[in-house]
Amino acid sequence: MKNSSFEISRRTLLIGGAAALAMPMINRKAWANQSLVVADPGGPFGDGYRVAFYDDFTAQTGIEIQGVARDAEPTAQFKSIVETKSYIWDVCTITLSARLILEKDDLLEPLNLPAEAVADVMPEAVHTNMLGTDVYSTVLAYNKETCPNPPKSWADFWNVADFPGRRSLRRNPLDTLEIALMADGVAPQDLYPLDVDRAFRKLDEIKDHIDVWWTGGAQSTQLLESGEVDMIAGWNARFQAAIDNGTPAELVWNQGLYSIEGWGVPKGSPKADIAREFIAFCAQGKQQAKFTEYLAYGPTNLKAYDFIEPDRATILPTSPENLKLMSLASDPYWLEHRNAATERFNGWLLR
């Protein structure tokens, strides 16, 4: 499913009903004195998830949640936990690409979530062994003061004559190849499988005009914040942090690429049943709305927007007006082709 739009309808009755249905098995007395260790990326994620999920789940069930920070890429941790049966945590955030890697090695518990619990969650976020809870996007950002003629597409980013300014792209083929193809006129729904040769031909046109090839999210924020570049491709929440700090920048949602992260449970976890109850709780729109105060990520349950202030909603990827302009990046494609594309991309940079 490449594009999605969502319709928000009857507020309190439907959301209250979904909340009740989402946790049909919860019994506070039955779960007394139980606990879960939940691994998240830390930082603002830890704060946002504590308010959105951890504290309220404990209040409703009596199950204590201990939040811990995971590795930036937790697949190796997952593998070690399952193989050694040393379950240092019971639930962990994973991306769609990590889910595919873990699924291939049979490292994830099935979630068996009832259909009614995820009825309002975007279909791309619901899997047998993962529930996506938030959406992040790769978008174009530009400085409003130094770009009086604002770019509105990747073709504009490539058009150095009509849209002058210092430019930056990610030093990675992921998203960058898709961006190049869209700049060359490929429709988002026609991106995959990628025409890699065509993408590199298009990258040849812009290569000499890229002032910085960024390698980390913090660097991308700094590039925009410091004014070192005037337009840049990167992650929406990183750029929003710069805007929140006073940078006169604007995000372009058109032709953005989004992906999803959420919860997975290590295979064989002795607390898998409690973990499933926690994950079902996290599917609720009212709960997901709470983390958006801390993170500029979009909830996967679009009913959450009934609880999000309109001004805040406009900066989130799954706001219907933004989501309809973007497409879902293909993690299955990149699982198969990432190594070859990375090798070719790194060689191309050195030419």
Domain spans in the chain, listed from the N-terminal domain onward: 35-135+261-316, 136-259+328-350
Task: State the pTM of this model.
Answer: 0.87
Q: Is the pLDDT of residue 312 over 80?
A: yes
What's residue 3's pLDDT? 38
> Structure tokens of 141?
């950002």
Helix 75-84 crosses helix 96-104 at what angle (to 10 degrees)? 30
What's residue 329's pLDDT? 97
Same fold, 35-135+261-316 and 136-259+328-350: yes
- Confidence band, pLDDT 50/70/90 cuts, at residue 17: very low
- Confidence band, pLDDT 50/70/90 cuts, at residue 9: very low
What's residue 31's pLDDT? 58
Per-residue pLDDT reduced to its tens digit, 55-94: 999 999 999 999 999 888 889 999 999 999 999 999 999 9
SS3 content of the chain, % helix, strand, coil (to 5): 45, 20, 35
- Confidence band, pLDDT 50/70/90 cuts, at residue 30: low
CATH topology of domain 136-259+328-350: D-Maltodextrin-Binding Protein; domain 2 (3.40.190)
> Structure tokens of 250?
């604007």
**Homologous superfamily assigned to 35-135+261-316:** Periplasmic binding protein-like II (3.40.190.10)
Q: Is the pLDDT of residue 29 over 60?
A: no
Strand pairing report for 210-214 and 167-170: parallel
CA angle 108, 109, 115 (to 5 degrees): 120
